[in-house]
Amino acid sequence: MIDFSHIRGVILDMDGVIWRGSEILPGVPDFFRWLDAYSIPYVFATNNSTRTPEMYAERISGLGIKVEISQIITSPLVTARFLRDQYPNASKAYVVGQEGIYAALRGVGLEIVEDVQADFVVVGLDRTLTYAKLQAACYQIQRGALFVGTNGDVTLPEPDGYIPGAGSILALLQTATKQPPLIMGKPEKPMFEYALGVLGTAPAATLMVGDRVETDIWGAKRAGLSSALVLSGVTDAGDFGEYQPDAIYQDLVDLQNHWLT
């Protein structure tokens, strides 16, 4: 159970929580108007590495939800800030990924390189992936570049089934180089630490709302947050073992109704 009287901030996943593909899920945007009315701050946190915070802010604003760019936390953004903070003297990155990664790395002053030695190899979902990209990444890692993954999601849901996610690309490179990647996104702590910093709340006073037990719920548990699983995304009700959420709701409407009782 969740003691909502102690909650002072909320972290929410997006896909499966506020939308599912092009479908807007029940309770949106009423849930966020209610949070605003009670001055409960919230941020959105996604493992998706292909889009920029600006892209997400535009879509969320289009739903009638008031949102600032600072409230959008993506795995590339967390990755970029981590690398800049932890390796201030390194400047070059080789990328296997899409626009979200390129924008985040350049945003903290990192240079994207192709044919020179990189300090980092940053890998996310890449729908334009080629063997040449994988080959170059392998060479960079073997020559000493730090191997970093924006997130470890092995698959992504599509209307016709599941397709390879960033985690599948990471697994291939790890097999080829025998080097494990440093993962930034959920369920790892860097994303939760970043979100807590934006909210300005303590872990025990923060609620994570998500639809994936292995990322949203497990990550919240590891970071000391309360967790609410919504069944409006990819997960059905069941026994989740060590990934057990603090509470399960059908959607944001159900969550809000329980919060009010």
Is residue 160 flagged as an active site residue?
A: no
Catalytic residue, candidates 3, 13, 251, 254: 13
d(C-alpha 136, C-alpha 148), whole Å = 15
Is residue 15 flagged as an active site residue?
A: yes
Q: What is the 3-state secondary structure (H, E, C) of 102-152?
A: HHHHHHCCCEECCCCCCCEEEECCCCCCCHHHHHHHHHHHHCCCEEEECCC
Catalytic residue, candidates 3, 15, 36, 239: 15
35, HSE (Cβ side, Cα atoms, 13 Å): 25
d(C-alpha 186, C-alpha 45), whole Å = 9
**DSSP at 15:** B
Strand pairing class (23-24; 42-46):
unpaired
d(C-alpha 29, C-alpha 60), whole Å = 9
Residues that are catalytic: 13, 15
